[in-house]
């Protein structure tokens, strides 16, 4: 979308003399950061290569959180589908840095923060993905993986890679039976569902904030915790510090469920990365991001420890992807 049109949209919201200070093309959305007066505003439009529009969903979640006074999510300024011919969202901009190893001393604060989110008395929002039990949610993840395998099978991925991944998925589905005992309780809470370090903002002063709420919904809280543990690549010791800061008194199987999501989460993550690497629709992805996907692909292969069959895959399969960028 033309920057001038986005700037005029910001002006119509009442912001004076908006000046574009940053432009980012993310996975799902395109972000425009405008400086206006003494504050900044984030404007999002849908990335044209993405089929799903999550902007309306995020705006509805942010309005809901605003109504109950959470104070850790961006203020929702506006959502519009008509004036610019496509969905556009304007929300508060948070100054600060994304959570990284430099802030590990604040890991307990993150545990308390996600506990606060999970304690919110809110209902599911538009297009709910409610699962009747935690185990149902895990099963849905594996169904998604199976579906994605069929979708990426048409890409230029070596056949051996696809067949190996199918074996891994089949073995994983068999192992779900062994984990049922950890998923018998109804522990569903309101969750962020994308609680990775990139979405956790550490401001220069004050409390940690959370962005990108488009996936928020009712879910197993252990899933949120696993996303953070995986994204930070926490050691077993740091993982336990984080989980203990969250609190396990009322949820005795929390650690086991987090470990389950960590194990099975690496498989959809691996497939997701392969899709981004080989799918022609993503050829415009920046080279530095491709390198990130390659690194994550290799790490996922190495960390699926129970599936030694993956380790026999030759990683040179993925090298041509870089050369073609």
SS3 content of the chain, % helix, strand, coil (to 5): 50, 15, 35
Residue 58, domain member (yes or no): yes
Q: Are residues 144 and 49 in the same domain?
A: no
Residue 264, domain member (yes or no): yes
Say what the pLDDT of residue 144 is: 65
Say what the pLDDT of residue 128 is: 46
Say what the pLDDT of residue 281 is: 66
Secondary structure (3-state) at 210: strand
Q: Are residues 50 and 189 in the same domain?
A: no
Residue 205, domain member (yes or no): yes
Residue 114: pLDDT over 50: yes
> Where a domain ends, among 69, 93, 117?
93
Residue 291, domain member (yes or no): yes
Q: Decide if 177 contacts 168 (C-beta within 8 A).
A: no
Q: Which residue has the higher pLDDT, 311 or 114?
A: 114
121 band by pLDDT with thresholds 50, 70 and 90: confident
Residue 161: pLDDT over 80: no
Q: Are residues 69 and 120 in the same domain?
A: no
Task: Collect all residues with Cβ–Cβ distance below 8 Å to 34 and sequence separation of at least 6.
Answer: 7, 10, 15, 18, 19, 20, 21, 40, 41, 43
How many structural domains compose the chain? 2
Residue 98, domain member (yes or no): no
Strands (DSSP E) contained in 188-250 are 189-191, 200-202, 209-210, 217-219
Residue 295: pLDDT over 80: no
In the DSSP assignment, the letter for residue 209 is E
* Mean pLDDT confidence for 265-293: 67
Q: Are residues 142 and 193 in the same domain?
A: yes
Domain that includes residue 22, residue range: 3-93
Q: Are residues 61 and 155 in the same domain?
A: no
Say what the pLDDT of residue 181 is: 80
Residue 126, domain member (yes or no): yes
Could you report the per-residue pLDDT of 55-113, keeping only the tens digit for each? 988 999 999 898 787 789 999 999 998 888 889 999 999 999 999 999 999 999 999 99
Say what the pLDDT of residue 271 is: 73
> Where a domain ends, among 93, 120, 146?
93
Residue 99, domain member (yes or no): no
Q: Which residue has the higher pLDDT, 185 or 107?
A: 107
Nearest to 207 by CA among 112, 72, 108: 72
DSSP per-residue string spanning 97-125? EE--GGGGGGHHHHHHHHHHHHT------
Q: Are residues 172 and 274 in the same domain?
A: yes
Phi-psi region of 67 (alpha: psi -120 to 50; beta: other; left: phi over 0): alpha
* Mean pLDDT confidence for 261-289: 69
Say what the pLDDT of residue 145 is: 66
- Rounded distance between C-alpha atoms, residue 53 and residue 28, angstroms: 8
Q: How many beta carbons lie within 10 A of that of residue 292, not counting itself?
A: 14
Q: Are residues 238 and 203 in the same domain?
A: yes
Q: Are residues 255 and 156 in the same domain?
A: yes
- Match 């086991």 to its residue by tokens: 256
Residue 119 has φ and ψ, to the nearest 5°, of -90, -5
Say what the pLDDT of residue 321 is: 44
Mean pLDDT for all residues in the chain: 79
The distance of Cα 281 from the centroid of its chain, to the nearest Å, equals 20
Q: Are residues 184 and 305 in the same domain?
A: yes
What H or E segment, with its residue span, contains residue 11?
A: helix 3-12
Q: Are residues 131 and 250 in the same domain?
A: yes
Task: Collect all residues with Cβ–Cβ distance below 8 Å to 236 and sequence separation of at least 6.
Answer: none
Q: Are residues 153 and 82 in the same domain?
A: no
pTM of structure: 0.81
Q: Above pLDDT 90, what percent of the chain?
A: 34
Say what the pLDDT of residue 319 is: 46
- CATH of residue 54's domain is 3.30.200.20
Residue 44: pLDDT over 90: yes
- CATH of residue 255's domain is 3.90.1200.10
Say what the pLDDT of residue 257 is: 87
Say what the pLDDT of residue 19 is: 94
Q: Are residues 62 and 143 in the same domain?
A: no
What H or E segment, with its residue span, contains residue 19?
A: strand 19-25
> Where a domain ends, among 71, 93, 115?
93
Lowest-confidence pick of 55-59, 154-158, 224-228: 154-158
Nearest to 165 by CA among 292, 294, 272, 257: 272
Say what the pLDDT of residue 306 is: 47
Could you report the per-residue pLDDT of 136-145, keeping only the tens digit for each? 656 666 666 6
Q: In this structure, is the dihedral angle defined by the CA atoms of residues 202, 54, 47 and 270, taken in order, positive or negative?
A: positive
* Mean pLDDT confidence for 6-23: 93
């Amino acid at each position: 979308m033309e920057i001038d049109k986005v700037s005029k949209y910001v002006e119509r919201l009442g912001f004076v003399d908006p000046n574009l200070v940053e432009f980012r093309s993310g996975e799902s959305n395109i972000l425009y950061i405008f400086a206006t007066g003494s504050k900044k505003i984030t404007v999002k439009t849908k990335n044209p290569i993405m089929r799903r529009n999550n902007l309306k969903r995020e705006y509805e979640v942010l309005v809901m959180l605003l109504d109950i006074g959470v104070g850790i999510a961006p203020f929702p300024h506006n959502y519009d589908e008509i004036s610019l011919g496509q969905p556009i969202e304007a929300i508060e901009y948070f100054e600060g840095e994304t959570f990284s190893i430099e802030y590990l001393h604040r890991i307990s604060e993150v545990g308390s923060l996600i506990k606060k989110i999970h304690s919110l008395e809110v209902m599911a929002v538009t297009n709910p993905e409610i699962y009747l039990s935690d185990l149902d949610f895990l099963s849905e993840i594996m169904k998604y993986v199976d579906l994605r395998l069929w979708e990426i099978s048409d890409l230029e991925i070596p056949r051996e890679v696809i067949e190996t991944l199918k074996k891994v998925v089949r073995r994983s589905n068999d192992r779900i039976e062994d984990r049922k005992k950890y998923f018998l309780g109804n522990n569903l809470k309101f969750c962020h569902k994308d609680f990775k370090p990139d979405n956790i903002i550490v401001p220069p002063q004050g409390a940690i904030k959370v962005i990108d709420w488009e996936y928020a919904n009712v879910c197993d809280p252990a899933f949120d915790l696993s996303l953070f543990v995986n994204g930070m690549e926490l050691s077993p010791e740091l993982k336990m510090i984080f989980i203990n800061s969250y609190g396990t008194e009322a949820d005795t199987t929390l650690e086991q469920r987090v470990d389950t999501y960590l194990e099975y989460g690496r498989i959809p993550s691996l497939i997701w990365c392969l899709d981004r690497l080989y799918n022609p629709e993503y050829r415009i992805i920046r080279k530095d991001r491709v390198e990130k996907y390659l690194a994550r692909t290799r790490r996922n292969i190495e960390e699926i420890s129970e599936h030694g069959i993956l380790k026999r895959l030759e990683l040179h399969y993925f090298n041509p992807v870089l050369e073609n960028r």
